[in-house]
């Protein structure tokens, strides 16, 4: 039996060593048994492993790779973050940016606050921006704030992960409860920026996490209008499957179908018409998608608009 007590003397965990070994997966990952135990204790003590210290019966501090055989009682000590200078904050940001996982682990073990920014950028933001998956995982394990934003424009770690197509980082951040709809100041949402860059799998991930498919940017543009303007058919289909409003117009009245007709993109026009987009909905200057198609004189687009007019009238 291994028992873990707090400094107050209260028991926080008590398990037979064999049962504990199975629960923590020591047989599969035997290299860090103490680290595994700390992870097991996180939900019980409310602190990440970086702020935990386990002391043996004789008061010695156990290291992450120490074996636990022979121990019957351990004491758990929870540490506060020490004072952190700007140089130390910069050290963690630099390590996160350069993908130095060993140094990041060491710095977090001080323990050091993972949320201290340098010039408005936190370590998590920098890691997400540069696509440092292992660093993001470490920082989230250290309870880094998922929605800590860049000071100048409000971009979050999730936003920049979506902006640069870092799919697995976006997945980790969403699993850590990052806000999937938080936009930048005077700018787009993570979903809109992913649509703009044609990152299909990032869009699919965001929609699976119930990102708002109709949330607009400052000019009223939607993810669907962005994808329609750029001709990204696969993303358009994903958005329509997620119940995006096919006729939602931005502030000047331009709809997704208008953009498709303006770009003379027959495939996009077909997909939107199949979703029953309104070809007669006019923008502020009175021009409808049908009028735009006539101005562009694109025969395939005009033929589609005519065919779908007949189909609707025959129903």
Each as own residue / partner, the long-range contacts of residues 85-90 (CB below 8 Å, 24 or more positions apart, any chain) are 86/118, 88/112, 89/116, 89/117, 89/118, 90/118
Cα–Cα distance measured from residue 167 to residue 146, given in angstroms and rounded to the nearest whole number? 16
Contact 172, 132 (CB under 8 A): no
The reported pLDDT for the residue numbered 5 is 94
- At 141-177, the pLDDT tens digits run 999 999 987 778 899 999 999 999 999 999 999 999 9
Q: In the chain, at which residue ranges do the beta strands (DSSP E only) sit? A: 2-6, 11-15, 52-55, 73-78
Contact 67, 24 (CB under 8 A): no
Cα–Cα distance measured from residue 247 to residue 238, given in angstroms and rounded to the nearest whole number? 16
Contact 235, 203 (CB under 8 A): yes
The reported pLDDT for the residue numbered 133 is 99
- All domains in the chain, ordered by first residue: 2-78 (3.10.20.90), 82-212 (1.25.40.20), 217-315 (1.25.40.20)
Asked whether residue 285 carries a pLDDT value surpassing 90, the answer given is no
Contact 261, 293 (CB under 8 A): yes
**Mean predicted lDDT score pLDDT of the chain:** 92
**Which of 103, 105, 149 has the alpha carbon at shortest distance from 126?**
149
Length of the chain as a residue count: 315
The reported pLDDT for the residue numbered 33 is 86
Asked whether residue 314 carries a pLDDT value surpassing 50, the answer given is no
- At 169-205, the pLDDT tens digits run 999 999 999 999 999 988 999 999 999 999 999 999 9
Contact 163, 193 (CB under 8 A): yes
The reported pLDDT for the residue numbered 30 is 59
Structural Rg of the chain based on CA atoms: 27
- At 119-128, the pLDDT tens digits run 999 999 999 9
Lowest mean pLDDT segment, chosen from 65-69, 83-87, 309-313: 309-313
Asked whether residue 24 carries a pLDDT value surpassing 80, the answer given is no
- At 86-112, the pLDDT tens digits run 999 999 999 999 999 999 999 999 999
Cα distance from N-terminal residue to C-terminal residue, the chain: 74
Helices (H) and strands (E) in the chain — how many of each?
Answer: 16, 4
- At 25-78, the pLDDT tens digits run 655 555 688 998 999 899 999 999 999 999 998 899 999 988 887 668 999 999
Q: Is 93 exposed, middle or buried (0-12, 13-18, 19+ CB in 10 A)?
A: buried
* pLDDT band at residue 79 using 50, 70 and 90 as cut-offs: very high
């Amino acid at each position: 039996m291994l028992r873990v007590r707090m400094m107050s003397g209260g028991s926080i965990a008590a398990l037979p060593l064999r049962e504990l070994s199975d629960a923590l997966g020591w047989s599969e990952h035997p290299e860090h048994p103490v680290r595994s135990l700390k992870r097991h204790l996180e939900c019980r003590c409310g602190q990440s492993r970086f702020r935990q210290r386990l002391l043996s019966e004789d008061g010695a501090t156990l290291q992450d790779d120490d074996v636990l055989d022979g121990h019957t009682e351990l004491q758990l000590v929870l540490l506060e973050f020490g004072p952190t200078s700007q140089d130390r904050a910069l050290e963690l940001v630099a390590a996160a940016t350069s993908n130095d996982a060993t140094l990041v682990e060491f710095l977090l073990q001080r323990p050091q606050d993972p949320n201290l920014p340098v010039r408005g950028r936190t370590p998590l933001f920098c890691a997400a921006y540069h696509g440092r998956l292992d660093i993001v995982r470490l920082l989230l394990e250290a309870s880094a704030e998922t929605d800590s934003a860049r000071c100048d424009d409000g971009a979050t770690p999730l936003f920049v992960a979506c902006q640069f197509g870092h799919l697995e980082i976006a997945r980790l951040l969403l699993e850590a409860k990052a806000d999937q709809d938080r936009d930048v100041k005077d700018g787009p949402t993570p979903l809109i920026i992913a649509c703009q860059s044609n990152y299909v799998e990032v869009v699919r991930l965001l929609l699976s996490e119930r990102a708002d498919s109709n949330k607009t940017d400052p000019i009223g543009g939607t993810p669907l209008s962005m994808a329609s303007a750029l001709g990204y058919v696969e993303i358009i289909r994903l958005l329509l499957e997620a119940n995006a409003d096919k006729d939602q117009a931005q502030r000047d009245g331009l709809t997704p179908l208008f953009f498709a007709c303006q770009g003379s993109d027959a495939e996009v026009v077909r997909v939107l018409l199949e979703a029953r987009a309104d070809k007669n909905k006019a923008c502020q200057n009175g021009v409808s998608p049908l009028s735009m198609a006539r101005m562009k004189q694109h025969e395939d687009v005009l033929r589609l608009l005519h065919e779908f007019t007949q189909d609707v009238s025959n129903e």
